[in-house]
Structure 1
Amino acid sequence: MNIRLKLVALAVYAVALPGFAAGNPAAGQQKSASCQACHGAEGKAKVTLYPNLAGQHADYLAHAMHAYKKGERSGGQAEVMKAFVSGLSDEDIDDLAAWYASMKP
């Protein structure tokens, strides 16, 4: 019985692990000041040109920021985003992604 409980706990942990953001949401909040101009203080844009970030998956947000930084995204606001993320470290990106992922959509 004890081994079953351990196996169930391990399985739950393995399934839940990808849902946890690698970054620090509190640090991301502190770093989000420049993001708020377009994406809003609560991750909800007031202008439809800009996407809402609140509640998005952290992995998606981090992937998108890395793609902007590398110049792999084009069109729309890609050049503006590239300018904003060009100075961010991997840790900054993870923290920002964790912050926006932690918000209510």
Structure 2
Amino acid sequence: MHKWIYLLPLLVAAWGHQAKAADIEAGQAKAVVCAACHGVAGKAMLPNYPHLAGQQPAYLLKQLKAFKDGSRQEPLMAPFMVPLTEADMENLAAYYSSLR
């Protein structure tokens, strides 16, 4: 018998495992605070603030994590990042990427 047969149950279990999808509605609820600078629909009204609507979720998540861990410095963002969890950041990224 082939040795790989012993790995079959592990492969089936891993294949069946689905990562929890980000929650767009939860992201929208968290984004209420963001709207002051980034606009209600993720389109900033002032040129100093970036549009978030339609950005790739991986990009948004990377930037949020960088603000959170301090590797990207922005004094205006720092206080907003303190309470955010990993799930909050994933949800925000999903919400803003869902906007056009």
Give the TM-score normalised by the residue count of structure 1.
0.73
Q: Which amino acid aligns with 2:94?
A: A
Runs of 4+ in 1 over 3 A off after TM superposition: none
Residue 59 of structure 1 deviates from its aligned partner by 0.7
Match of 2:69 in 1: 70
Identical columns (%): 43
Structure 1: 5+ residue runs without aligned partners?
1-21
Matched, 1:58 2:62: no
Residue 37 of structure 1 deviates from its aligned partner by 0.2
Give the TM-score normalised by the residue count of structure 2.
0.77
Structure 2: 5+ residue runs without aligned partners?
1-20
- Provide the C-alpha distance between the structure 1 equivalents of 2:79 and 2:66, rounded to a whole number of angstroms: 12
- Higher gyration radius (CA): 2
Give the structure with the larger helix fraction: 1
How many residues in Structure 1 have an aligned counterpart in Structure 2?
80
